[in-house]
């Protein structure tokens, strides 16, 4: 059975909103591809792009370059080139700002401090040396920063939820940077064994130059929630690679929140070890003046009957506030019965900020349940502001109202109440700061 | 008791062709309990008058005065004007994604009153007002103006007027594009506000139809940025029969 449902460009209400929506289920004919090409509606200063490749198409050189699954992976630092801006993978990234993280130099062991807290009943944190399984069984570096983080982390932190275990409280890792000029590397392995259920909270504060790998092994029939909070000081730079393998009938809920830091590039990869897996990736970012936040997501549908759902929302305000969101979904030939959707929304609050949003969908089988994506960047415009203020609402309160509403959908899905509250408060702070 | 006084108001707007004067000396006084219909052809500047008084940044006031109860309105920010008791029901209300009607109304009410409304009475008031306007209770949980039909948007504007209880309300073509049923519901809402409060109303309209439902005390004919003629309700009847042609002779339109 195969059905096709494709929508062209969509504009809702506000003329400043450009929306590109793609939807494909089953083997879509060539005509549908044309529709999607037309959906590319760039409008300064935002940029919307959309790429969709479907089975039965000629594999051109451009397509081969797009194939996200074919990217080279290696533990050897020398196998990776120093990023260049003409490479697709790095074209949005301000390379000079991240430059310290491309240098293979010794880790300053006190650059970053870790504090680990495990819930009652859980085993104490362990360590894993380079090459000691399960370390390296899921995450194999695909860029130089990740390769350096791996090679320069002699011992990885290893947290495990035991088979059939369930915990009331989350596992917490507080990661505190001790200086913007200090170079730290880290490798963390999170594991939920068969039929267990656990929440892991990674909380990043302070400042450092920090390259980090987070490897997630989600055992069969287990449930893992990972909440990574990037609440760095304004001068921190951070490149993270999060790589998860979701076992048979297992679930991963992965939440990335980026509010602080000078430049943060977050690369989150999810793949499946067996059928019946579920991946949910949620993200929230708020980029202020001069902040650069990049989120790159990749869901690799490598097993049948798995689902994935991606929803990232970002707000931007201030001069040179930048965000990049690239969402790649690959549905491999063997991934029959896949159901996937990805969404990115950006809210540009002031002039001078820029959001780029690029969803990519590659489909190699016709036998899927559904695949869709949507990306849109909207402005908080003068008419909206006028409307709210004409009802007596002050400018600050009006912005609050809109931004709170915008993020509510993501925040409500974060399972730890205390983090929900903290996030709401942080967003208020961000807004209040910019209004003074 | 409120009194809105507009004296010799001139306003300009920036266009690609340069600065254009839209309001060319408007004089108008509206007191509590009075309903003034402002009627005129398209492009005469009626809506500009509404937005200029409400403080839309697009319009520059170049001359004249606007006061509310003796306070200088032109010195106030948009939200200060609303808090002082001015209300503008918009012709094209904008969408506010992610903000529910109920949250929006409560926030506005809190801002206008300077304190949060008592929860129990507020919920009751809101439900009652929505019922009066034949709005489904589910409406409260929808995002402001998102996916609203034309009639829903206008009812939502009147709902706000009813709950915020302004001293002076400006209704900018609230009747445009409504079918008869929706017009009747909206008009009833306006009349209820008139009966229950001392509200003064500036009713801007292109058509005479709404005046069958909302009775004006005064009718002003607005042409080329000025009030060309004023009178009682009988003037509306005359416009009904004769149209605006009489005023347009020699005005170059």
- Quick: pLDDT tens for A201-235: 999 999 999 999 999 999 999 999 999 999 999 99
- Pairwise CA distance, residues B73 & B66, whole Å: 5
- Judge whether B125 and B163 are in contact, CB under 8 Å: yes
Mean pLDDT for all residues in chain A: 86
* C-beta neighbour count of A174 within 10 angstroms: 16
* C-beta neighbour count of B21 within 10 angstroms: 15
- Pairwise CA distance, residues B39 & A353, whole Å: 43
Q: How far is CA A353 from CA A19, A46, A236, in A?
A: 18, 9, 20
Q: Which has the closest alpha carbon to B90: B155, B183, B16?
A: B155
- Pairwise CA distance, residues A239 & A101, whole Å: 8
Q: Which residues pair with A297 in a beta bridge?
A: A268, A327
Predicted TM-score (pTM) of this structure: 0.79
CA angle, residues A16, A355, A408, in degrees to nearest 5: 80
Residue B113, C-beta contacts closer than 8 angstroms, at least 6 positions apart: none
CA-based radius of gyration for chain A = 21
Residues A328-332 have a mean pLDDT of 96
E-state strands within B83-208: 86-89, 96-100, 143-144, 168-172, 200-205
B82 to A397: CB separation less than 8 angstroms, yes or no: no
Residues B63-86 have a mean pLDDT of 97
A387 to B100: CB separation less than 8 angstroms, yes or no: no
Q: Is A168 on the interface with B (CB under 8 A)?
A: no
Question: Which chain B residue is nearest to residue A392, measuring alpha carbons?
Answer: B79
Q: How far is CA A60 from CA A55, A248, A362, in A?
A: 13, 34, 14
- Judge whether A292 and A94 are in contact, CB under 8 Å: yes
Chain B residues touching A406 at Cβ < 8 A: 97-98
Q: Which has the closest alpha carbon to A210: A236, A228, A234?
A: A236
Q: Is B93 on the interface with A (CB under 8 A)?
A: yes
B56 to A386: CB separation less than 8 angstroms, yes or no: yes
B89 vs chain A: nearest CA distance in angstroms?
9
Look at residue A138 in the predicted model and tell me its pLDDT: 97
pLDDT confidence tier of residue A12, bands split at 50, 70 and 90? very low
Q: Is the pLDDT of residue B52 over 60?
A: yes
Q: Is B160 on the interface with A (CB under 8 A)?
A: yes
Look at residue A50 in the predicted model and tell me its pLDDT: 62
B99 to A390: CB separation less than 8 angstroms, yes or no: no
Residues A266-289 have a mean pLDDT of 97
Q: Is B117 on the interface with A (CB under 8 A)?
A: no
- Judge whether A282 and A413 are in contact, CB under 8 Å: yes
Q: Is the pLDDT of residue A272 over 90?
A: yes
Instruction: Determine the 3-state secondary structure of A386 from DSSP.
Output: helix
- Quick: pLDDT tens for B78-125: 999 999 999 999 999 999 877 899 999 999 999 999 999 999 999 999
The answer to whether the Cα torsion of B98, B103, B109, B113 is positive or negative is: negative
- Pairwise CA distance, residues A63 & A72, whole Å: 16
pLDDT confidence tier of residue A5, bands split at 50, 70 and 90? very low
Q: Is A386 on the interface with B (CB under 8 A)?
A: yes
Q: Is B177 on the interface with A (CB under 8 A)?
A: no
Look at residue B167 in the predicted model and tell me its pLDDT: 97
Question: Which chain A residue is nearest to residue B83, measuring alpha carbons?
Answer: A392
pLDDT confidence tier of residue A268, bands split at 50, 70 and 90? very high
What domains are defined for chain B? Answer: 3-248 (3.40.50.300)
Q: Is A171 on the interface with B (CB under 8 A)?
A: no
Q: Is A388 on the interface with B (CB under 8 A)?
A: yes
Q: Looking up tokens 């915008």, which residue turns up?
A: A406
Chain B residues touching A390 at Cβ < 8 A: 54-55, 78-79, 81-82, 87-88, 90
- Pairwise CA distance, residues A280 & A308, whole Å: 6
User: Exposed (0-12), middle (13-18) or buried (19+): which is B131, by Cβ within 10 Å?
Assistant: exposed
Q: Which residues pair with A344 in a beta bridge?
A: A312, A375
Paired tokens of A355: 């959001």
Q: Looking up tokens 């060539």, which residue turns up?
A: A30
ipTM of the complex: 0.95
**Nearest CB to A405 within list B56, B88, B99:** B99
- Quick: pLDDT tens for A283-314: 999 999 999 999 999 999 999 999 999 999 99
**Nearest CB to B107 within list A382, A386, A397:** A397
Chain A residues touching B104 at Cβ < 8 A: 388, 391, 401
Residues A44-51 have a mean pLDDT of 51
- Quick: pLDDT tens for A142-197: 999 999 999 999 999 999 999 999 998 999 999 999 999 999 999 999 999 999 99
Interface test with B, best of A14, A391, A412 (most B CBs within 10 A): A391
CA-based radius of gyration for chain B = 18
**Nearest CB to A393 within list B81, B88, B111:** B111
A389 to B79: CB separation less than 8 angstroms, yes or no: yes
Query: What dihedral angle (degrees, nearest 10) is formed by the CA atoms of A379, A385, A388, A392?
Result: 160
Look at residue A41 in the predicted model and tell me its pLDDT: 34
Number of H helices, E strands in chain A: 7, 19
pLDDT confidence tier of residue A19, bands split at 50, 70 and 90? very low
* C-beta neighbour count of A179 within 10 angstroms: 17
Bigger pLDDT: A236 vs A4: A236
Q: Is A391 on the interface with B (CB under 8 A)?
A: yes
B180 vs chain A: nearest CA distance in angstroms?
25
């Amino acid at each position: 059975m195969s059905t096709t449902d494709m929508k062209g460009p969509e504009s809702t209400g506000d003329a400043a909103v450009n929306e590109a929506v793609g939807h494909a289920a089953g083997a879509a004919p060539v005509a549908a591809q044309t529709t999607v090409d037309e959906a590319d509606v760039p409008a300064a200063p935002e940029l919307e792009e959309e790429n969709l490749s479907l089975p039965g198409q000629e594999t051109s050189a451009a397509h081969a370059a797009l194939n996200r699954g074919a990217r080279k992976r290696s533990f050897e630092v020398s196998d990776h080139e120093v990023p260049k801006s003409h490479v697709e993978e790095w074209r949005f990234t301000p390379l000079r700002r991240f430059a310290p993280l491309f240098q293979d130099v010794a880790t300053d062991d006190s650059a970053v401090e870790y504090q680990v807290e495990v819930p009652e009943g859980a085993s104490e944190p362990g360590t894993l040396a380079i090459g000691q399984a399960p370390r390296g069984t899921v995450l194999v570096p695909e860029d130089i920063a990740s390769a350096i983080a791996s090679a320069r982390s002699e011992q990885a932190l290893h947290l495990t939820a035991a088979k059939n275990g369930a915990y009331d409280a989350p596992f917490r890792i507080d990661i505190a940077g001790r200086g913007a000029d200090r170079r730290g590397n880290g490798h963390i392995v999170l594991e939920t064994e068969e039929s267990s259920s656990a929440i892991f909270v990674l909380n990043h504060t302070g400042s450092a130059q920090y390259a980090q790998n987070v490897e997630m092994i989600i055992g069969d029939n287990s449930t893992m929630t990972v909440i990574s909070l990037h609440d760095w000081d304004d001068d921190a730079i951070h490149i993270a690679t999060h790589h998860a393998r979701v076992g048979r009938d297992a679930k991963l809920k992965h939440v990335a929140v980026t509010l602080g830091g000078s430049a943060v590039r977050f690369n989150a990869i999810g793949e499946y070890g067996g059928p019946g897996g579920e991946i949910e990736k949620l993200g929230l970012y708020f980029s202020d003046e001069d902040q650069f936040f990049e989120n790159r997501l990749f869901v690799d549908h490598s097993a049948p009957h798995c689902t994935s759902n991606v929803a990232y929302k970002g707000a931007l305000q201030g001069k040179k506030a930048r965000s990049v969101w690239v969402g790649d979904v690959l549905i491999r030939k063997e991934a029959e019965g896949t159901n996937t959707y990805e969404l990115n929304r950006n809210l540009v609050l002031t002039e001078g900020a820029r959001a780029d949003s690029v969803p990519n969908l590659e489909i190699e089988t016709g036998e899927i349940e559904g695949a869709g994506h949507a990306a849109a960047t909207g402005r908080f415009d003068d008419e909206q502001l006028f409307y709210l203020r004409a009802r007596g609402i002050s400018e600050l309160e009006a912005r609050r109202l809109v931004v709170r509403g915008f993020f509510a959908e993501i925040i409500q899905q974060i399972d730890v109440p205390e983090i929900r509250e903290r996030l709401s408060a942080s967003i208020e702070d961000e807004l209040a700061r910019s209004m003074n | 008791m409120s009194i809105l006084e507009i004296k010799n108001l001139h306003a300009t707007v920036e266009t690609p062709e340069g600065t254009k004067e839209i309001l060319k000396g408007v004089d108008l006084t509206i007191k509590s309990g009075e309903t003034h219909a402002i009627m005129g052809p398209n492009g005469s500047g009626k809506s500009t008058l509404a937005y200029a008084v409400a403080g839309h940044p697009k319009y520059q006031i170049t001359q004249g005065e606007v006061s509310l109860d003796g306070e200088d309105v032109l010195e106030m920010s948009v939200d200060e004007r609303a808090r002082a008791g001015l209300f503008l029901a918009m012709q094209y209300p904008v969408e506010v994604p992610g903000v529910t009607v109920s949250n929006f109304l409560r926030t506005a009410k809190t801002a206008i009153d300077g304190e949060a409304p008592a929860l129990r009475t507020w919920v009751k008031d809101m439900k009652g007002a929505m019922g009066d306007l034949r709005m489904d209770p589910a409406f409260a949980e929808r995002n402001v103006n998102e996916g609203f039909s034309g009639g829903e948007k206008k009812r939502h504007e009147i709902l706000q007027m009813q709950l915020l209880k302004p001293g002076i309300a400006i209704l900018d073509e609230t009747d445009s594009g409504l079918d008869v049923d929706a017009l009747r519901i909206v008009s009833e809402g306006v009349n209820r506000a008139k009966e229950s409060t001392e509200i003064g109303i500036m009713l801007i309209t292109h058509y005479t139809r709404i005046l069958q439902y909302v009775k004006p005390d005064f009718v002003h004919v607005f042409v080329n940025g000025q009030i060309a003629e004023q009178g009682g309700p009988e003037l509306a009847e005359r416009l009904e029969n004769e149209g605006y042609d009489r005023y347009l002779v020699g005005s170059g339109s």
